[in-house]
Amino acid sequence: QVQLQESGPGLVKPSETLSLTCSVSGGSINSYYWSWIRQPPGRRLEWIGHLYSTGSPKYNPSLKGRVTLSGDTSKNHFSLELTSVTAADAAVYYCARHLRFYTDGWASAFDIWGRGTFVTVSS
């Protein structure tokens, strides 16, 4: 059974870089898409981006070039870096497997999630 676990600092200073890692157990990160999703307090979920085990990541344009996703198949984990953080970046950050499947066209769903990790932005 595939399980995901987010890890990283729970507190980041304004203007600094938020770095999180998602460790995947019970399965390989190869051959799947993997996403980061966040939920600021009181707001809806926001997709940050995804990456395939090999290949170029795809990002939400709303993050305006501040985000970088990367994967490490040797450690079976993938990571998020978000630069120049502000208070608006405080959120619960989730990693999820982004399953793509064909049904009258290419669809997708986040079929496995981590429990999330809360990141505060404060000096």
Partner 1 sequence: DIQMTQSPSSLSASVGDRVTITCRASQSVTRFLNWYQHKSGEAPKLLISGASTLQTGVPSRFSGSGSGTEFTLTINSLHREDFATYFCQQSHGYPPTFGQGTKVEIK
| Contact residues for partner 1, defined by CB under 8 A | 4, 43-47, 58, 60-62, 94, 96, 101, 103-105, 107-116
Report the nearest approach of partner 1 to the CB of residue 14 (Å).
25
CB of 15 to partner 1, least distance (A): 25
Report residue 25 as tokens.
Answer: 């157990």
| Angle at CA of residue 85, ends 83 and 88, nearest 5° | 140
Closer to partner 1 by Cβ: residue 43 or 75: 43
Which residues face 77 on adjacent strands? 23, 72
- Look up tokens 């990141």; give the residue: 119
- The minimum distance between CB 8 and partner 1, in angstroms, equals 17
The nearer residue to partner 1, 27 or 116, going by C-beta atoms, is 116
Question: Which of 16/68 has CB closer to partner 1?
Answer: 68
* Residue 91, both tokens: 């959120």
- Judged by DSSP in three states, 95 sits in strand
Cβ 44 to partner 1 shortest distance, Å: 5
> What's the CA gap between 18 and 12, in Å, rounded?
6
Q: How far apart are CA 54 and CA 29, in angstroms?
A: 10
